[in-house]
Chains A and B, each alone.
Chain A
Amino acid sequence: GAVVSQHPSWVICKSGTSVKIECRSLDFQATTMFWYRQFPKQSLMLMATSNEGSKATYEQGVEKDKFLINHASLTLSTLTVTSAHPEDSSFYICSAPGSGRITTEQFFGPGTRLTVL
């Protein structure tokens, strides 16, 4: 199956700093990628849809100026958490849909655990 990687796998930062997370599709091209946030023992909450070559589409309640998304190529999307605060500490996961027109499974990256001190 298709492989999606994320980097870094974990990061600890001080409050007020910015953190960039990379999501790469390794063996396929992804014009669309999705960014999720998952708090402990909770479900995946979609933050935004990343579109190659155009602006991301953010879900209601997600601050686009705080969570900057860039999808500069068909294999790379980045999420930058700007001016991070302790409440931003979470597990951030990206996914990319497969190429099927009917079966549209999403392939998930391994996730990035962000801890803001």
Chain B
Amino acid sequence: GQQVMQIPQYQHVQEGEDFTTYCNSSTTLSNIQWYKQRPGGHPVFLIQLVKSGEVKKQKRLTFQFGEAKKNSSLHITATQTTDVGTYFCAGGVGFGNEKLTFGTGTRLTIIP
């Protein structure tokens, strides 16, 4: 079945440093979504990418979707303590009410 892997599994950074997590799918995707889960919380939607090679920015966050629509990345510039949490990518092969396959996640901790 479809697998979605993320690296690294854990990342500890000094506050103010940049952070990047990479996501790779075993199959071609129709769309990739990114979610953030704070410790003890539930996943919260960040963004959806649909087009091959698409790049989207949200303030300090930059999201990319690979040309082959099988990989993606999330880059955070100048991390802040509020960025702490686990970042999951989630791949979809359809739209509408189609299910998502969640990646393994990258847990980000910030050293103040």
Residues of A within 8 A of B (CB): 31-32, 34, 36, 41-46, 49, 60, 93, 95, 97, 101-111
Contacts of A111 in B (CB 8 A): 42
Q: Tell whether, in the assembled complex, residue A41 and residue B97 are in contact, meaning their CB atoms are under 8 Å apart.
A: no
Instruction: Give the complex CA separation of A32 and B15 in angstroms.
Output: 40
Q: Are B45 and A107 closer than 8 Å at their CB atoms? A: yes
Complex CA distance for A34 and B45, rounded to whole angstroms: 15
Pick the most buried of A36, A43, A46, A93: most chain B CB atoms within 10 A of its CB.
A43
Name which residue of chain B comes closest to A113, CB basis.
B40
B42 adjacent to A110 (CB under 8 Å): yes
Q: By CB atoms of chain A within 10 A, which of B92, B98, B99, B107 has the most?
A: B99
A-B residue pairs in contact (CB < 8 Å), sample of 19:
A31-B97, A42-B105, A43-B105, A44-B43, A44-B102, A46-B100, A46-B101, A46-B102, A93-B42, A97-B96, A101-B96, A102-B50, A104-B33, A104-B48, A104-B95, A104-B97, A106-B33, A110-B41, A111-B42
> How many residues of B are in contact with the other chain, CB < 8 A?
25
CA distance A44 to B41 in the complex (A): 13
Determine whether the beta carbon of A105 is less than 8 Å from that of B48.
Answer: yes
Residues of B within 8 A of A (CB): 1, 31, 33, 41-45, 48, 50, 88, 90, 92, 95-105, 107
B107 A41 Cβ-Cβ under 8 A: yes
A95 surroundings in chain B (CB, below 8 A): 43
Instruction: Check if A106 sits within 8 Å of B88, measured CB to CB.
Output: no
Hey, which chain B residues are within 8 Å of A104, CB to CB? Answer: 31, 33, 48, 92, 95-98
Q: How far is the CB of B92 from chain A (nearest CB, A)?
A: 7
Q: Which residues of A contact B44 (CB under 8 A)?
A: 108
In the complex, the answer to whether A43 meets B42 with C-beta atoms within 8 Å is no
Known: A43-B88, A44-B43, A60-B1. A106 touches B104 (CB 8 A): no
- How many Å lie between the Cα of A106 and that of B100 in the bound state? 9
**Given A43-B103, A43-B105, 19 further pairs, Cβ under 8 A:** A34-B100, A43-B102, A45-B102, A46-B99, A46-B101, A49-B99, A93-B42, A97-B97, A101-B95, A102-B50, A104-B95, A104-B96, A104-B97, A104-B98, A105-B48, A106-B33, A106-B90, A108-B42, A110-B41
